[in-house]
Chain A
């Protein structure tokens, strides 16, 4: 079974631009979560989608948004990019929502490395 895939793997943008990242979960998984990883803040939760509905949201500004499609694929969008948005963005999928079942294991993709200049 194929793992979680993320596209693109690398991205360079300039301040003020917007960016869209894509995540395809493991086949059959209906929950997708997004995390931001930076050297200073570590791994921080952005949001989680389950069955096309946002179930949970982390403490990020409204410039960060996401959505999930009927085939469980997910996208996240960052508008008006800032230098501090440079990070590795990780997507994780699970069968059901971790909010419904804390034992649910999340499987991660390789990430998209975003550099904002």
Chain B
């Protein structure tokens, strides 16, 4: 079945550091790919998405490119802030509802 694998955390970075969270997927068909973020005590917020190969999703300084050849959708941000501390989930949606990775907890220290 469809699955998502993302790097295990926690990830701890200093403010203004570069962030990469790796995400790879296995799916039949042509899935859409998503990154969701969950702040403490809250639900999931859509961060960005890409619906076809080579699409780049971007939002709030975060970017991810849909790479079909490597089945990857890595999340990047050039300069993280303390307010980016949260849990990040990679997810895919093909012909079924969302399939999530296990989440990566990011802590940014000042």
**Residues in A lying within 8 Å of B, measured CB to CB:** 4, 6, 33, 35, 42-43, 45, 48, 56, 90, 92, 98-99, 102-111
Contacts and interface: CB of A to CB of B under 8 A. Distances in A.
A101 to B, nearest CB: 9
Contacts of B100: 42-43
Nearest to A112: B43
Question: How big is the B interface, by class?
Answer: 20 to 34
B49 A108 contact: no
Given A102-B32, A105-B49, A108-B36, A45 B103 contact: no
Given A6-B43, A33-B97, A42-B100, 4 more contacts: A90-B43, A98-B97, A102-B95, A111-B43
A46 B22 CA distance: 26
Contacts of A90: 43-44
A96 to B, nearest CB: 12
B21 to A, nearest CB: 15
A107 B46 contact: yes
B97 A99 contact: yes
B102 A42 contact: yes
24 contacts: A42-B100, A45-B96, A45-B97, A92-B98, A98-B93, A98-B96, A99-B96, A99-B97, A102-B29, A102-B30, A102-B31, A102-B94, A102-B95, A103-B51, A104-B32, A105-B34, A106-B46, A106-B97, A108-B43, A108-B46, A109-B43, A110-B42, A110-B43, A111-B42
